[in-house]
Amino acid sequence: MKILYLGPECIRILEHLQSFGDGVYRTEGKLTIPEFIESNYDFIISYGYRYIIPSSVTDHYDKRILNLHISYLPWNRGADPNFWSIIEDTPKGVTIHFVDEGLDTGDIIIQKKIELEETDTLRTSYKKLSDAIENLFLSNWNKIRTGEVIPKKQIGEGSFHYSKNKETYEYLLSNGWDTLISELERRR
């Protein structure tokens, strides 16, 4: 199998993908449409990738592009999902979903709710969610790659945020990303 991994290096995931004997190629850079399509990957996996994948690519790779997202979709699509799940008191969790023409709107492959503690900070909650999505991927990749997992449509409107939406709430971050969740919950 030929796999393209989009995003910052995550040794755990890359080594796991390679353990199946698959060719794994990684980039953080923006790819052109011909590069995506002509390379004819079996799967594309996006985790922390900063660019939107064009619809011509998602159409070409229908049900073969996965995104690892640290929110419980349909809640907190887009940027800063752990921040918004705390500020808006929405479900906290992680989701592996197919990428379609929308932003974090594709069918859900698998997801898991995650409990955060009042003693967590934005930083530790991000780390917990990142560890959880990586573990979810590692324990389910074989079933995903062989088509054993049945995806489901996202239900409900959920929520969506751009990075700039956070500016209105930055005054709440008394200690930056080390601000306690309990403090944010009291102030919202």
Which domain range does residue 27 map to?
Answer: 2-187
Report how far apart the first and last C-alpha atoms of the chain are (Å, whole number): 48
pTM, two decimals, is: 0.95
CATH code of the domain in which 23 resides: 3.40.50.12230
Own/partner pairs, 115-118, CB within 8 angstroms, 24+ separation: 116/86, 116/92, 116/181, 117/181, 118/180, 118/181, 118/182, 118/185
Q: Name the percent of the chain lying above pLDDT 90.
A: 93
pLDDT digits (tens, 9 = 90+) for 123-160: 999 999 999 999 999 999 999 999 999 999 999 999 99
Q: How many domains does the chain have?
A: 1
In the block, residue with structure tokens 């996965």: 66
In the block, residue with structure tokens 């990749």: 141
